Structures are given as structure tokens and as C-alpha cells.
Structure 1
Amino acid sequence: MPSAAAATVTHHPVITSDRALRAGIVAWVAFAFIGWRGLLVPSLLRSIESSFVQSDAALGGYFLVTSLSYALGCLAGGPLLRRLDARATAGLAGVTIAVGLVAQGLVPSWWLFVLAGVPSGMGAGVGEVALNALYLDLFPGSRSRALNLLHLAFSVAALAAPIVVALLVSAGVPWQWVMAGSGVSWLVVAGALIVATPRVVHPKVPAPAATDPHAGRRLASLPVALVLFAVAIACYVAAEAGASDWMIRFLADLPLTHASLALTMFWGGIAVGRGIVARFGARLDPVRTAMLAVLAGAALQAAAVLAPDPWLSIALFGMAGIAFGPVYPLIVAAAGTRMPDRTATVSSTLAFAAVAGVVVYSPAMGAISVGVGIGVAMLGTAVLALLSGVALLGARRVSVGRAPGAA
């Protein structure tokens, strides 16, 4: 009679290296488009405020609505991966983003613009969960490097978006065309995802065998570690997104092209940081590296906000980006390594936690800006990065999968 272990069907199909490479490249491009989508409204913030005659507080409300939509997408991503498969989930996410962006470029009123941001946000949340889980499955032997490369795509697109959008708007291209054109591009990306993504399904993981004397300890410690990773990623993303969403507003005294340069340098630094860790970080402890990086980023972010000269602020924002760069993918890689058979759960939990951080802080920055000033709101991002480092320190101290009495 076959054993229970022998009867267990893994959720990792046999994927050839060529197939994994093709799927990885298409997923990389799709993740870049998620990064572009995330920076569209912050890059167009002045044009949108002017067109719809809205205040910082109203923009904060918009960020709240789209962040909640993103969170719902992250919550739905895990169940969709388990019910459907990676191919169908990624394709559905792409089509949903396309519909939302095209609608945002066509609607005539502010409230319809906000409403159209809901499918765009939900699709991006589902897409992030699906693509993170896909990379964990495609490259199980090099998860830290693979996820840094995947998130490098996000930061490269986010790096390009502010300056490209500023140049387009300065050249007389209506901001509505930029939004709608981005949505049409997403239709092409969705088709490529459907063609290239393998059918990876994620059934529920069976309970550990009763004969495993350490199963209870593993089950008890895994949720603690995952909660700490979730807190760390929530605080980190709140810091990153808050700075990114409001940086151009913080540098309001500068011309748009100069303020956009600061945002470009910030995301350029993130791209550099992720590229460095992807190239040289294979042997690094992901938790320790993420902790040191986010603490360095917190210090640099605070220095950028308090700097007396705007050009010094721009340089320091770029340096903070370098430090922040590898934090998100390293946290996901560390959690995925500790829970290798639950990649859908890890991806959806951490993605939802990340959006929860954005929901709590980035929209609140609009109200803080009106109440006590945008500088105070920006300084809060450095405090959140510090809290992320503290949570990672706690995660590093949690013993996972160790036998009692192990050294």
C-alpha cells in the first residue's frame, strides 16, 4: 500500500528550463507594467488636480480607494491561484488592469475617475500575487535572486514613468491619452501572459504527518514568522509608497521636470539596489540583508526630508532608493524559503500586508499635509522604515523548523 507521502501530488509541474525562461521574461515585462501603472497617477498628479479641480486631501482619498482595491486584489489572488491556475489568474489580472486604465483616460468627472481606479487597483493586486508566486515556482533553487530580478522590473518602469510622463505632458500630450494608452498596452501584455505562462496550480497543502515529532513546532513557528514578515513588509511599503506618491508634491517649489527627476532618482536607486543584490546577493542571509538595508534607507529618507537644499534632497532620495531596493523581494524570498509548499499563501499574505501599509499611510499623508505640512508627512515615511527593520529583527529571531534543542 503506498504511503501518504507518495500519494501527495506536488503543485510544481515539470517545467523545462526553456519554458521557465520564456514565462519568466513575459512575467518580468508584466511586472514592469504593474510598476508603470503604480506611478502613473503620482506622475500626473498636477495635471489631474488641475483638470478636476481637486485638493491634496481629495487625492489622498483617491489613493485610499485604489489601495483598498489593490488589497482586495491581493486577497483574491491566493484563492484564484488555487481555484484556477497561474495562467488564467495572470491573464485575468491583465485584462482587469487594462479596463480600468482605459476608463480612467476616458471619463469626464472626478468621481468616475476614482471609480475607474477600482478595477485597475484590483487587477494589479491579483497580478502581483500571481507573478510573485509564479517566480517562486519557476525558480525554486534561486528564489532570492529571481525575485530581486522580478522586482527590478517594477523599479525600472517606475524609474522611467515620471520622466517619460513629464516629457509627454510637457510636449502637449493630454494626460488622458497617457492613461488610456497604458491601458491598451496592458491588453497586449495580458495576451502574452496567457500564451507564455504555464499551468501551475496550488492545491491546499495536506497536514503534516502525525509521525513527524517536530510538526507542531514547525506549524506554531511558521505563522509567527509570517506575521512578522507581514508587519515588516507593510511598514516598508508604506514608507516607499508614501515617499513615491507625494515626492513631487513635497518638491512643489521646483519645476515639474526637476521634481520628476527626484522621483526618477528614487526609483532609479531602487532599481540599482535590486540589481546589486540580484547579481551579488545569492549567498547573503535575506532577512539580515533586508533589515540592514531598510534601516539604512530610513536614515537616508529622514536626511532627504530635512536637507536644507532641494538638490541635496534629490541626491539623498536617490541614495535612500538604493538602500530600499532589495527589501521587498528579500522579505518575500525569505518567507517563501521558510514555507516552500505554500507559495500562494506567502505571496497573497505579504502582498495584502504591503497594500495594508499603503492604505493606512499614503492616503493619510494628504490630511497630514493639509494639517501640519507635507514635510512632517514625508518624515513619517522614515519612521515607518525604522519599524520595518525592528519587525525584521524579530523575524530573524524566530526559530523555524528547528528540532528542540538544536543549536
Structure 2
Amino acid sequence: MKVAIASCIHPASVGGLAAYQRELAAGLQTFRSVNGHFLSVQHVSDKPAENLSWPTAELMPRADWKRQHGLMTRIASRKPLVRFADKLSRVMNNRPSWKSAVTGVDALHFVGTGWDIIGYPLWREARRAGVPFTIWPAVHPQAWGDDAFDVRLYQKADAIFCQSDHERDHLAARGVPVEKLVRCGLPPMCHTTGNGPVLRQKLELGERPSALFLGRRDKGKGYPALLEAWPLVLEKCPDAVLMLAGPGSADEARLAKIPAQSIRDLGCPPEQEKADAYAACDVFCLPSAHESFGIVYVEAWSYGKPVVCGTAPASRELVENEVTGVWADQQPQQLAASLLRLLTNRAHREALGAAGLRTQLQHYTAESMVGCHMKAWKGASAN
């Protein structure tokens, strides 16, 4: 069986969707009968090829994609013109690279949404070749991935992988046939070699209780709320340290209200240091309002750490309150209280972390993710 994984996001780049592509390809390689290749809008020549399990081919130059995306944005954003945008995509993408994308493949898997625009021509080529076309959209309900132009593409596909029941129910309500929606979780995608003591020594943490934030530093992920909550944490747990990691503005105004000795900013750490941070922290905290799944919670569980999640429905579906973690919102007082329940009670946090690890090992493994994909592709081929 040969599989092509296509996306606007190059598989060697940084981010969750790129990591998903790499993890899926690596998992598929465990089957001797399965191979494939990546398809990208632009080949990233400065990324080491040895990081990827499969070769990568370019679908179209990034400059061409940007021009076409700008045009489609103006047209497809108007609901009455969505059907016209679909037809226009057919006219604009009659190029050899699209046809070669599906030559010899048994399944074409697209990682993205309708607004990535390449999904439409890929679907047409899959139909011409008579091979299954599936999508991993990573929808953030009511935030992105569920516009009319997205839904139209999902309705054409043979299967759409959803990371939560909430995402599946949301897309069904938006008009995607429920029989096409496949629930599929994700395994940890971080390194398994995290060394907590090494990072604690480097950061001069000693035995101080610590919490880790790893994500985009924006309101959706709850970063400002966490910075506002941390002084309240320090009132009752003055030795606590907050480790911060991820892209975005540091928010100097809020950081200035926190003693420097109570913060450790890791910037955007490399993968090994990210794993070290999971291993070093006592609690993982990402109080997101929007998530399609929450892979970071699963990664924290893989290190036996309890998690604090936000109000995102997918996160609360994943994290069982007071069993594998604690629910919180973005109100500083409430968020601080949730953190303090774990930071000040070692036995409680260790029990929740152990339960999280059991959940990860039982339900969120590479084997289960790959098996779910293989079953969907074989079912689509049979139909």
C-alpha cells in the first residue's frame, strides 16, 4: 500500500500538524507493506532530510499559492460564491504536479482545511485516479476549519478524521455526513528521553514546585490569564516557579508584576529541551479556550504529570476533572486555585499524573492512531 500525505505545512517544519505528518509516516513504516511520500506547497530545502521518513515533493511554489489564496479568500468568504470558488479552483490547478501527486498511490491523505485551497484540486485528482481521499482538518470549532468553504470540501471526502467527539458532532451539525466522520486521537509526539534533573539543575530550580506552560503565547491559549494568576499562586506557594515555552509575545507588562526568581522563560525550546521541561515540571498548565484535541496534555501524561486544562470542549472531553487533571477557566482567581490544589499537594498531583499516564498508554498510542487510519483507508477502498 502506498500513501501520499499532502499539506500546505511542510512535514519538516515546526508545529503540531507537521509533527502529526511525521508521526503518521513513521507509524506507517512499521508495516512492511506500506510506504509513501509527502506532498507540500513548497519544499523546505534547509531542513535535514533524515528527519523525515518519506521523500517530499512540491505541489506548487509558495508564491503561486499565496496569489491563489488571496483570490480565493476574497471569493469564498462570500457564501453565495463558494460553489463558484470550487469551480475556479479546478480551472486554476491544471498542472502536472497535481496529476503526479496521486500516481501509483492507494490513498491520498490531506492535512488541512478548505481554506488551504490545495484540498480541492487534490480531491479532484484522487477522484480521477479512483483512490480514497481523506482529511485531517484539526478543526477548532467556531474558530477555524468549519467555514462553508471548509465544509464543502469535507462533504466531498471519503473520511474526515476528528480528534474528539465534540469536533465530530460539530462537523455533523455543519452538514458533514456523520458516516464519514472518524474519531481518532493522537499519541505523544515529544521525545521520550526528557531529563528533568538536568533541566532543574540548569534552571536552578532545586526542589521548588513548578508549573509548565507550553503553547502559543496568546489569549486563546490562556497565556495572559496564567500570568495574571501566578502572583496569586505565589501568595500561598511563594517558592513556586512558572516555566514558559512557546512562540509569541512575552507580554513584558504582565511579566513585570511577577518576581524574576519565580519565572523561567525557555523561549521556543528545541525538542529535547521541551521533553526535559515535561520531565522537570510538577504540573502542566495550558488553560486554552480553543483546542481541536490537546496533544500537549497527552505528552505531559506520558511523563506522568497532572494537567490543568481550560474551557475548550475538546480539552474537557480529553481531561477527566480531578482524575487525570484539573479543569480551569481564564479567571485568575479560579485558575490560581486550580494550580494551587496540585502544587501544594504532592500526593494528589502524583495520583492524577499516574492516572494520566495510564490513560495515555491505553488510548493514545502510535499503534492506535495508525490502525485507525489504515481501517478508514481500507474501508474507503472497499466502497
Q: Same fold (TM over 0.5)?
A: no
Return the TM-score normalized by structure 1.
Answer: 0.24
Higher helix share: 1
Higher strand share: 2
Relative CO higher for 1 or 2, CA cutoff 8 Å, sep ≥ 6? 1
Return the TM-score normalized by structure 2.
Answer: 0.26
